Copies of this chain bind each other. A is one copy, B any other.
């Protein structure tokens, strides 16, 4: 059983910076590559890159085009296969809408964050994954802005290792969470 369709969203606004201020974070090339490859590995069908900044959208599309067309694609077929999942959207709402329109039915947004101890367990989330199309949402910078957590969307518990250090990169957290939610 591989579950219902899965998509991933990487949010660049609104997110927090280290001071707790709301910012639009810059797109990081390696976030696109790493999360696209992890998403492809675990069978996600879309990777929504969320940013309202038009020059950032252009950057994402230039990177994706480089790897998915012409020389880049021929040089690195497996990279093309991953980066082809990327779709740019200007807001998280637009990501939900695009994913619902593609599937023709409601999807279940799942918020992730290192500072949200009140989330559902990975076991409960695997159950949701079996039953509903999911949109798994990751924040860049210092995490998704608090207002995103006020929409009543499901929140997933943080990844915990030993003790109280929880400062994984978003690339590592996305990889671990996709692995933990994988229905083999």
Chain A interface (Cβ within 8 Å of chain B)? 2, 18, 30, 33-34, 37-38, 40-43, 76, 78-79, 81-82, 159, 161-163, 165-169, 171-176, 178-180, 182
| Contact residues in B for A163 (Cβ distance below 8 Å) | 43
Please state if B40 and A167 are interface contacts (CB–CB under 8 Å): yes
Q: Say whether chain A's binding surface is mostly helix, strand, loop, or mixed.
A: helix
The residue from B30, B78, B168 contacting A37, defined by CB atoms under 8 A apart: B168
| Contact residues in B for A30 (Cβ distance below 8 Å) | 30, 169, 171
Identical copies in the complex: 2
The 8 A-B pairs at the shortest CB distance, nearest first, are namely A172-B175, A43-B162, A41-B161, A42-B161, A78-B167, A34-B169, A176-B179, A175-B175
